[in-house]
């Protein structure tokens, strides 16, 4: 899948289980979006493992669109993901 060359990638966003439901993930994501904007990115994107149901629900609630389902192979294992993006 080809993404905008002016896009920024969110590589990881993890919140420890005991801190979920407190808005921390949303605040961290907002800071990542602000940083991407400051770097002149037109879009922020992230991939999410399809088994991470909480993250699959989180990104659409934050205004991200599901735009694809990339598959990655690593050491003879197949890992399905969901690709999300938000225009900044």
C-alpha gyration radius of the chain: 13
Examine residue 62 and state whether it is found in any structural domain, yes or no.
yes
Judge whether 65 and 86 are in contact, CB under 8 Å. yes
CATH number at residue 61: 3.40.630.30
**Number of independent structural domains in the chain:** 1
Examine residue 57 and state whether it is found in any structural domain, yes or no.
yes
User: CA 77, 20, 54 angle in degrees (round to 5)?
Assistant: 40
**What does the pLDDT look like over 35-63, one tens digit per residue?**
999 999 999 999 999 999 999 999 999 99
For the cut 70, the answer to whether the pLDDT of residue 3 exceeds it is no
What is the model's pTM? 0.87
Q: Give the structural domain span for 25.
A: 7-87
For the cut 60, the answer to whether the pLDDT of residue 2 exceeds it is no
């Amino acid at each position: 899948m080809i993404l905008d060359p002016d896009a920024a990638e969110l590589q990881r966003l993890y919140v420890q289980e005991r801190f979920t439901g407190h808005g921390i993930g949303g605040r961290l994501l907002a800071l990542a979006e602000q940083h991407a904007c400051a770097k002149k990115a037109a879009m922020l994107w992230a991939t999410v493992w399809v088994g991470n149901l909480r993250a699959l629900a989180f990104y659409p609630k934050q205004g991200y669109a599901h735009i694809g389902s990339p598959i990655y192979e690593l050491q003879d294992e197949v890992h399905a993901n969901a690709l999300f993006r938000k225009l900044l």
